[in-house]
Amino acid sequence: MVSFSALLQEGRTPTRREEISAVLALSWPAIVQQLMLTLVQYIDTVMVGSLGPNATASVGVVSSSVWLFNGLLGAAAIGFAVQVAQHIGAGETEQARGVVRESLLFNVLFGLFMGALAVGLSFPLPGLLGAEKAIQSDASWYFRIVGCSMPFLMAINLLSSLLRCMGDTRTPMLYNITLNILNTIFNFVLIYPSREAHLFGMTLWLPGAGLGVPGAALGSAFASLLVALLFLRRFFRRGFPLQIHLRDKFRFTKSCLSAMVRIAIPQAMAHTASCGAQIAVTVIVAGLGTQAVAANSLAVTAEALCYQPGYGVSTAATTLVGQAIGAGRRDMAVRFARVSTWLGMAIMTGTGLLMFLFAEPLIGMFTPDVDVMRLGASVLRIEAFAEPLFAASIVASGAFSGAGDTKWSFAANLLSMWGVRLPIALLLIGSLGLTGMWIAMCCELSLKGLVFLWRLRSNRWLDSGTVVVGRERA
């Protein structure tokens, strides 16, 4: 990736094949990483789902809130990562290293704050979301433990983003595979009680804590801690391009923080608007009963397998557009944004087709309950039709972020979620139940994708972003 940054700085225009190769080279490790993160969620869901519908619903009822908190952590990460990408594109290594130091200091302070906030909210949250009494205790414990792991989750999110914006997508991929393996091991031990297993005629004794739903959150927390330490070790390692030292001065600067705020605040507000609508959806679905909550939760989890590749391509778009902007190559920023978006749409068209064809086996992996499986599969097939245009909004948003343009994405997400999805859902859910909710979601994602494609073609995002480098060429 360093050689590609040099190419941009030299002013040479890559061929279309080189552009596609650059997008794919950055995308495939990011896609694998996103799929590994989804697999972690799948493993949690499968293991918790084996405990019954109540256990599944207890995780599902707080899943939107977990997503809200993770998104806020991710917004802060993007605010720093975009600056790193632009500095690298401009060849400003020392400035990029300074951004890394400030981001780590911010991670400690903001991660602890968000963790404390999550722990405090964990007590009343399930009741406020309309959860039935039978699942409130497990839901509360699950969210509380996730809250305790917020500093580690933020470190993984932040350092992954920094590495990707440097052009290194393989290291985050490998570390997240490690996260997945550790999470599986810890979950296996913490969720289930000690028991005997028979293998090849042998009887094995398997130790277990028997913690149930809280054990799933605890397993993920332990895995996150260990992998966060791996990421930190990478940045302190000798020879690393942006190596940092404990003797360095870790302090905030006005220029870096103000740029982070300009990029991150709209990103955070967009995510908050989206999650606020998701939480409203959770409250509405909770009124349909535990079976609907479980089916909705499993369908949301299953759909992640389809759209996570889009986020992988979005990562490549952020990096390439950010470095092109840093090098002063607005022409290449446009080309990378468009190539990435069409590639993401092609990939998610394929995954959407697979999701439609294999909806029942996919949901069936998570629960033995036949009624929950059938309901979850039926709504999942509805959503498959929205995936190509959903990809357009995901990848184009990543490209806009690379240019520092996050305000427009916030406005688009706010209007689509609250002005389209929720009104249609409220109109349909009374007669169609959970199916009405997912029809509304399909309509909203499709419309939003068309709007993002219009914005991408207009090139107005180039003039609305935050540029932090000291120079810009035509």
- Which among 8, 18, 64 has a CA at the least distance from the CA of 301? 64
pTM: 0.77
Residue 451 in this model has a pLDDT that exceeds 70: yes
Residue 6 in this model has a pLDDT that exceeds 60: no
Q: What is the mean pLDDT of residues 193-214?
A: 80
Q: What is the mean pLDDT of the chain?
A: 86
Q: For residues 121 and 426, what is the distance between their CA atoms, to the nearest angstrom?
A: 27
Give the least confident one: 7-11, 57-61, 223-227, 418-422.
Answer: 7-11
Give the side-chain half-sphere CA count within 13 A for 172.
28
Q: For residues 32 and 251, what is the distance between their CA atoms, to the nearest angstrom?
A: 34
Q: What is the mean pLDDT of residues 250-259?
A: 90
**DSSP category for residue 421:** I
List of long-range contacts for 238-247, beta carbons under 8 Å, 24+ apart: 241/2, 241/93, 241/166, 242/84, 242/93, 242/96, 242/97, 242/100, 242/162, 242/166, 243/97, 244/97, 244/100, 244/101, 244/104
pLDDT of 239 reads 85
Q: How far is CA 281 from CA 62, 295, 409, 420, 432, in A?
A: 12, 13, 21, 13, 15
Q: For residues 4 and 12, what is the distance between their CA atoms, to the nearest angstrom?
A: 10
**DSSP category for residue 198:** E
pLDDT of 434 reads 92
Give the least confident one: 143-147, 201-205, 444-448.
Answer: 201-205
Residue type, position 64, single letter: S
pLDDT of 472 reads 40
pLDDT of 466 reads 62
Using a 10 angstrom Cβ sphere, with 0-12 exposed, 13-18 middle and 19 or more buried, the burial of residue 132 is middle
pLDDT tens-digit map of 370-409: 888 999 999 999 999 999 999 999 999 999 988 888 888 8
* Confidence class for position 122, pLDDT limits 50, 70, 90: very high
* Confidence class for position 474, pLDDT limits 50, 70, 90: very low
List alpha helices for 192-253, DSSP H. 213-236
Backbone angles phi, psi at 288, to 5 degrees: -85, -5
- Show the tokens assigned to 368: 């033995």
Percent of all residues in the chain with a pLDDT value above 90, rounded to a whole number: 39
Instruction: Specify whether the CB–CB gap between 118 and 144 falls below 8 A.
Output: yes
Percent of all residues in the chain with a pLDDT value above 70, rounded to a whole number: 93
Residue 164 in this model has a pLDDT that exceeds 90: no
- Show the tokens assigned to 249: 């001065």
Residue 469 in this model has a pLDDT that exceeds 70: no
The residues, any chain, with a CB within 8 Å of residue 373's CB and separated by 6 or more, are 295, 298, 360, 363, 364, 367
Give the least confident one: 69-73, 352-356, 425-429.
Answer: 69-73
Residue 411 in this model has a pLDDT that exceeds 50: yes
pLDDT of 1 reads 44
Q: For residues 332 and 46, what is the distance between their CA atoms, to the nearest angstrom?
A: 44
Instruction: Specify whether the CB–CB gap between 156 and 33 falls below 8 A.
Output: no
Residue 202, strand partner residues:
199
List alpha helices for 149-253, DSSP H. 150-165, 170-191, 213-236
pLDDT tens-digit map of 319-339: 889 888 888 888 888 999 999
Using a 10 angstrom Cβ sphere, with 0-12 exposed, 13-18 middle and 19 or more buried, the burial of residue 433 is middle
Backbone angles phi, psi at 206, to 5 degrees: -110, 120
Give the least confident one: 18-27, 116-125, 193-202.
Answer: 193-202
Q: How far is CA 306 from CA 63, 173, 356, 358, 406, in A?
A: 18, 18, 10, 12, 24
Which has the higher per-residue pLDDT, 14 or 371?
A: 371
pLDDT of 175 reads 93
pLDDT of 8 reads 60
* Confidence class for position 473, pLDDT limits 50, 70, 90: very low
Backbone angles phi, psi at 86, to 5 degrees: -70, -40
Residue 233 in this model has a pLDDT that exceeds 90: yes
* Confidence class for position 465, pLDDT limits 50, 70, 90: low
Instruction: Specify whether the CB–CB gap between 55 and 213 falls below 8 A.
Output: yes
pLDDT tens-digit map of 272-316: 887 778 778 878 888 888 888 888 888 988 888 888 889 889 988
Place of tokens 């299953």: 302
pLDDT of 106 reads 94
Residue type, position 116, single letter: A
Which has the higher per-residue pLDDT, 175 or 267?
A: 175
